[in-house]
Structures are given as C-alpha cells and as structure tokens.
Amino acid sequence: MKKQVSLVLSSGGARGIAHIGVIEELEKQGFEIKSIAGTSMGALVGGIYAAGGLEVYKEWMCSLDKMDVFNLIDLTLSRNGIVKGDKILREMKKMIPDINIEDLLIPFVAVATDINNDKEVVFSRGSLYDAIRASISIPTVFTPFEKEGAQLVDGGVLNPIPINRVSRFESDILVVVYVNARFPHIRTPIPGDNNHEEKKHSKYINTIINKLNNFIPKDKADKIGYFNLLNKSTSLMLHQISLMTLEKYKPDILINVPRDSFGTYDFYKSKEIIELGRRATIDSINNYGIIKERQ
C-alpha cells in the first residue's frame, strides 16, 4: 500500500518551481499525494498537478529562456501593480484548460488575501485559474485580482505555508515544502546550470529594477533601492510567519529549499530549480526514514 501524503506547498516566487521536483520525487519513491494546499507559486504548481497537467506545465517552463519569460510580462501603468498577469494565464490555459476546483482529481485549496478587509480567502470551489491568479498576486508587482468586489493579493501576506488548510486523512503523512528557508545554499553542479547565462540575466534584471527605481521618489527608498527594500522586508516578514506556522503545525516531513538558492524572478532557470527540489526531497525522505527506524 502506498504511503498517503497531505501536501502543503509554500509561496516563494520562482523557487516555487522546486515544488515540481518535490512532487515527482515523492511519486517516484512510492508516496501517493491525496490532497494539496498551496499559496502563491505553491497554489499554481499544486493546482496544475491536481488538474493532471504537471508534465505539460513542466515542459513549457523548462523551454523558457530569459527573453521568453520577459515577453510573458504584461506591464501596466496601474498604481496597484506593474504586471497584469493575464498574459501568463492565457498561455497556461492553452495547455491546461480551466476547471472547477471541486472537479479536480484530488482535494485542493489555494489561499489569497483580501487586502481591503484584512482577511484570508480560501479557494476550495470555483475556477482554478481565478484561485491561482488571486494567490500569485504579489503586492506592488501584480495588480490585485478583483472578485465579488474584493481586491485579492498573494496568499503569502497572511499564510505563506497553509498547513491549517490542507485536507487531512487518517494515517496520512503531512509533507510541507518551504522554499524560503534561511540557511546557506551550498551550490553543487546541476545539469543545465550555466553561470555565464546567470550573470547575463542578473545584469539584465538589475537594469530593469534600476529603471523602475528611477520612478520612485528618493525619500521612499534607501541606498539598496525601493524594490529591493520592499522585497527584503516582505521576505523577512513572511519568514517569521512561516516559522510560527511550522512550530504550531509540525509536519512529518519538512522539505527545505534555501531562500538564497535562486532569485524570486529566476523563472528561466526551471530545470535547475526542479532538480534542487528533487534533491531536497531525497534528503528529507532519507532523514524521515532514519527517524522512523529509531522510534
């Protein structure tokens, strides 16, 4: 009999692509995923998996280079965000049609934040892509998703690791994937890794960020830049919330991916990020096996 898993996938930008490697390795090692809860990129990957489209999505992500990723960004002059996000979802719908969450292969929930009413919103029914769009809406980056008069932003604002939202089953194994872990990433060679391309991409992204910073009043930014300051502050806040969540709802298996392994917007590095997720899963499963043997 397969070991049944209730799976929780955290927010984390491009590092959330590691969730693909986690899911593949769990299945490879005989685990059966029975339910999923996800926030932000965790909601996207988890929802696509529950819809049966993970392999197609993986192939698409791994085919994207840095210019492909940039071309998927539909910039807007809105004060509420610089990216509309519609272009990405349109491309995804061409590969994986929308479906109601209640019709998915397994129980799935996505978490978003109602920014005007200061509350968490849990999607367990209705359009999968509405849930994903709301959950991935990083404040100031993506424009909020409007639904029934509410403005919804990234679920990570209130619940970056939605352990309390996943459906549980008798004798299940609670597996939590946290892709914002605060420990040093020891870089090892990963197939397809290309440091030269990485440097070119980093320079390219930094140029864009510097141009965006020029539009921000000087009194709103310190020397590290407005967007970098916002990113660092948000990351620290989410990490503290995550630590409290992990302390309250202790998982059976915790799979950590270091925050400094890849940048929030390194979506063109999907192959390397997926491989990192796979390796982290192997390590965590091995540790889980050792602990079980000692009990």
User: 3-194+250-294: CATH homologous superfamily?
Assistant: Cytosolic phospholipase A2 catalytic domain (3.40.1090.10)
Strands 253-258 and 31-39: unpaired
The Cα angle at residue 116 between residues 111 and 120, in degrees rounded to 5: 20
Record the pTM: 0.86
Q: What is the pLDDT of residue 288?
A: 86
Residue from 11, 40, 135, 261 carrying the catalytic annotation: 40
Q: What's the chain's average pLDDT?
A: 87
Residue from 154, 172, 266, 284 carrying the catalytic annotation: 154
- In whole angstroms, give the CA distance from residue 110 to residue 99: 14
Q: For residue 135, what are its two tokens?
A: 């959950």
For the CA atoms of 99, 100, 101, 102, what is the dihedral angle to 10 degrees?
-130
Q: Contacts for 267-271 with beta carbons within 8 Å, 24 or more apart? A: 267/14, 267/17, 267/61, 267/64, 267/69, 268/64, 268/65, 268/66, 268/68, 268/69, 268/201, 269/14, 269/198, 270/17, 270/20, 270/58, 270/61, 270/62, 270/64, 271/62, 271/190, 271/191, 271/192
The structural domains of the chain, with segments of one domain joined by +, span 3-194+250-294
* pLDDT tens digits for range 58-103: 999 999 999 999 899 888 877 788 888 889 999 999 999 999 999 9
- Quickly state the pLDDT bin for 215 (edges 50, 70, 90): very low
- Quickly state the pLDDT bin for 52 (edges 50, 70, 90): very high
The Cα angle at residue 27 between residues 36 and 252, in degrees rounded to 5: 60
167 is catalytic: no
| Spatial CB neighbours of 134, under 8 Å, sequence gap ≥ 6 | 110, 112, 121, 123, 145, 147, 152, 153, 155
118 is catalytic: no
